[in-house]
Structure 1
Amino acid sequence: MHWLADFLAAFGVVLNGIPQGIMAMTLGFAVFPTTFSFLFVSGINGVFGSVAPISFQAESLALTGNLGDSIRERTSIIFGGSLIMIVIGATGSLTKIVSVLGNNIMAAMMAGVGIMLAKIAIQMTKSEKWTGWISIAVASITYLLTKDLVWTIVLSVVLSSCYATFVEHYRAELPAYVTARKFNFMKPMINLRIIRGALSLACLNIGANISYGLITGQMTGIKPNPVNLNLLTSAQALADMGTSLLGGAPVETIISATASAPEPVLAGILMMLIMALILFAGWLPKIGKYVPSASIAGFLFILGTVVTFPENAVTALSGSNSLIPAVTLVVTAVFDPFAGLMTGGVLKFVLPLIGLGV
C-alpha cells in the first residue's frame, strides 16, 4: 500500500499549492508556462534522487507582487533573482553565506518576512473586505483546532470563496495572457525597483532554501540529511529563469509533506507531475474565476504570524547579542529582505571595528 500513501501525500501538497497558484494568477502570472518548472524539477529530482520538491510559494509571490508594479516588472524581478541564485547554487556558496552572516541574522530576516506576510494579508482585506476577513477568521479557527496547514488553506479559501461567489456574486475575468495555453516571451527590463526586488527575492530564497530544504529532508527520517542544497538551489533557479521569460509564475522550495511518505522521492515527483497536469490542462484558470485574491489572506496571515514569525524570532533573539538580529527583523518587516539582510551584515562587521561590539 506504499503507492496509496505516496499518492495521498502528493495530493495533500497539491491541495496546498492550488490556492497559491490562484494567487499567482491574480498577480498577473501566466500559469501554462509554469508547467515547464514542475516538469523540469521533477526530472532533476528523479535523476539525482532529491526529496525536496518545488511548488508555488506564498512568500515569494507576496514579495514579488509587493515590489513589482506590473507583470513585466514582476517577471524581471524573478529573472534577476534566479540569476543570482544560479551563481550561488553553482558555486556552492549557499551555506557559506549563512555561516558568514550567522543563523541569528538569517532567522531574523525570515521572521521579518513573517510580519510582511501578515501585513500583506491585512492589506488584501481593503479591496475585498468581507471575503478577506472571513478567510482570516476561518484560517485562524481552523489552525487553532487542527494545527494543520493543508486544512487551514483549504477551508479558508473554499469558505471565503463560497461567500464571494454566492453572496457577492464574484466572478473574475482573468487577462487573456494569464489563461492562454501558449508561450509569450516577456523581455526582462531593469530599473532600481527591479534590482531591489531581485536582491530581495534572492535573500528570501537563501533563507527558504536553507530552512525549508533542511526541514523537508529531516521529515524523511534519513540520516544524513538527504537534501543537496546546491542542487535544490540550482534547479529551482533554472526553473524560475525559464518560466519568467515566458511570463510564468515563480516556484520555490516548500516544506513538503511528501518527504514523510514511504517513498519520498517518488511522492515529490508525483506531486509535481500532478501540478504540471493541472496547469497544462488549463484547469487552474477555470477554478480561479471563482476564487478572489483575498481568499488567500487567511493562509498568508497564519503563515506569517503563527508559522514563520515565532520560530524564527525565537532563533534570532535567543543569543546574548540580540541587537543586530532585532534590527534585521524590523528593517526586513518595514522594507524588504535584502534591506534587512544587508543591514544585519553591515552591523555585524562594522560595529566591532568602531568599538561597539554587541
Structure 2
Amino acid sequence: MHLLSDLMAAIGVVLNGIPQGIMAMGLGFAVFPTTFSFVFASAVNGVFGSVAPLSFQAESLALTGNLGKDLRERTSIIFGGSIIMAIIGFTGLLPKIVSVLGNNIIDGMMAGVGLMLAKIAVDMNKGSKSKTGWISILIAAITYIISKDLVWTIVLSVVVSSVFAVFVEHYRKELPTSVTERRFRFLKPTVNVRIVRGALGLACLNIGANLSYGLITGQMTGIKPNPVDLNLLTITQSLADMGTSLLGGAPVETIISATASAPEPVIAGIMMMLIMAVILFAGWLPKIGKFVPSSSIAGFLFILGAVVIFPENAAAALSGANSLVAGITLVVTAIFDPFVGITTGAFLKFLLPLIGLGI
C-alpha cells in the first residue's frame, strides 16, 4: 500500500515536470543528456537518504533563457553557475551566506524572481498572433482559484491550451535535431559578460531556491529536525548541472516536491526521478513536445510567479527590520536579475548604517 502511495506521489510530480521539460526543449536544450542528471540525483538520494529530489524548474529555465541568447550561452551560464554552487556546497557556505545577508534579502530576491516569471509569461504572448498563451493563463487562473493546486493548474492549463493550438490553430512543430538526437555532443563553455552575469544570477537564484524549496520539502515530511541537508542538496544539484550542461542538456534544480508527503519520501523521490529519466531516455518527451507549444506553459509561469512565489516571499521580506533594503532588492531583481538584486541588497545593508541612515 505504501508503494502505491509513493508511486502516485511520484507520478504527480512527473506530471508537473513534463511541461517544464517541454519548456526546456523550447529553449534548445537536448533531452537525451539530461537523463544523466536524474539518474545521478536518484543515486545520490538513495545512498544518502535525501528526501529532496531534483527536476526541471521553471524559474531557472526562464532565467537562463532570458539571459542567454543561444544554446551555447545558456549551457555556459549553467556550467558557470554550477561551479559557483559546487564551491558553496563543498565548503558549506550556504548557511553562512544566508547568515550574512539575512533572510529578508533572500526573500526579497525570491519575490523579485516571482515578478520576473509573471512578466516572462506575459511577454511570451506579446506580439504573437497565437492565442494559446493567453488561453493558458486564463485556464491556469481559473483552475488555481478553484483548486489551489499547482499540479492541476499546470496539467489543465497545458492540456487545454495545447488542444486549442493543435485543433484550432493547427500547431505542430518539428524540434531541432540538437534537441532530439540520441547521442552525447560536447559543448565547450564560452565566456562573455552576459554569461558571467547569467552564471552569477543563476547561482543567486539557486541559493534562494535551495534554501526555501529544500527546507519546505523537508517540512512536508513531518520529520523533525528538518531532514534536508542543504550542503548535500547544493552539491548534488551543482554536479548534475555541471555534467549535463557540457552535453547540451537542461538544468535540473531543487523543487517543492509532493513526494516528500508520501509514506516513504526518499523512495517516492527516487521513483519520480527514475520515471523522468525513462521518459527522457526513451525519447517520449520530444514526441509530446511536437504538439505542445512553449507558450502553453505561460499560465503556470504566471501563477507560479505572481500568485505562489511573489506574495509569500514579499510578505516575509517586508516584515522584518531590513524591509527597506529587502524591498529594493525585490524591485531590482524584478527589473534586472537575481545577482544584481542580491548584490544591491547586500551593498545597501552594509552601506546605509555606515552613513547613519536607518533601514
Report TM bin, short chain.
over 0.9
CA distance in 1: counterparts of 2:4 and 2:310, whole angstroms: 34
> How has the CA–CA distance of structure 1 residues 65 and 112 changed in structure 2, closer, same or farther, with 3 Å as cutoff?
same
Aligned-pair distance for 1:320? 4.0
Q: Are 2:76 and 2:189, in contact at CA under 8 Å, matched by a contact in 1?
A: yes
Contact preservation (8 Å) 1:105, 1:341 = yes
Deviations 1:182-236 (A, max 9, x none): 1000000000000000000000000000000000000000001110000000001
Paired amino acid for 2:117: L
Distance of 1:202 and 1:129 partners within structure 2: 34
- Kept in 1, the 8 Å contact 2:130–2:169? The answer is no
Change (3 A) 1:321 1:232: closer
User: Where does residue 91 of structure 2 map in the other structure?
Assistant: 91
Residue 355 of structure 1: how far off its partner (Å)? 1.5
What's the offset of the Cα at 1:238? Answer: 0.1
Partner-residue secondary structure (3-state), 1:195: helix
Match of 1:170 in 2: 171
- Matched residues in 1 for 2:53 and 2:129: separation? 33
Unaligned ranges ≥5, structure 2: none
| CA distance 1:173–1:128, change in 2 (3 Å) | farther
Counterpart in 1 of 2:285? 284
Tell me what 1:250 maps to: 251
Question: Secondary structure in 1 aligned to 2:224?
Answer: coil
What SS class does the counterpart of residue 33 from structure 1 fall into? helix
CA distance in structure 2 between the aligned counterparts of 1:351 and 1:148, rounded to whole angstroms? 41
Matches of 1:321 and 1:204, distance apart in 2? 20
* CA deviation profile, 1:124-180 (whole Å, cap 9, x unmatched): 112354100000000000000000000000000000000000011001121101001
* Counterpart mapping for 1:301-312 below 5 A: 301-312=302-313
Counterpart residue number, 1:28: 28
1:78 corresponds to: 78
Normalised to the residue count of structure 2, the TM-score between the two structures is: 0.99
Question: 2:25 corresponds to which letter in structure 1?
Answer: M
Query: Is it true that 1:265 corresponds to 2:266 in the alignment?
Result: yes
Matching residue of 1:201? 202
What CA deviation, in whole Å up to 9, does each residue of 1:79-124 have, x standing for no partner?
0000000000000010110110000000000000000000000011
User: Which letter maps to 2:27?
Assistant: L
Which TM-score applies when normalising by structure 1? 0.99
Deviating above 3 A after TM superposition, structure 1's stretches of 4 or more consecutive aligned residues are none
Identity %: 78
Task: Report the more deviating stretch, 250-259 or 315-324.
Answer: 315-324
Per the alignment, residue 40 of structure 1 pairs with 40
Aligned to 1:328: 329
Contact 1:128–1:294 (8 Å) recurs in 2:
no
Whole-angstrom CA distance in 2 between matches of 1:95 and 1:151: 34
Aligned residue number for residue 149 of structure 1: 150
Question: Does the aligned pair in 1 maintain the 2:104–2:322 contact within 8 Å?
Answer: no
Code of the aligned partner of 1:43: A
Count matched residues. 358
Q: What's the C-alpha RMSD, in Å, of the aligned pairs?
A: 0.7
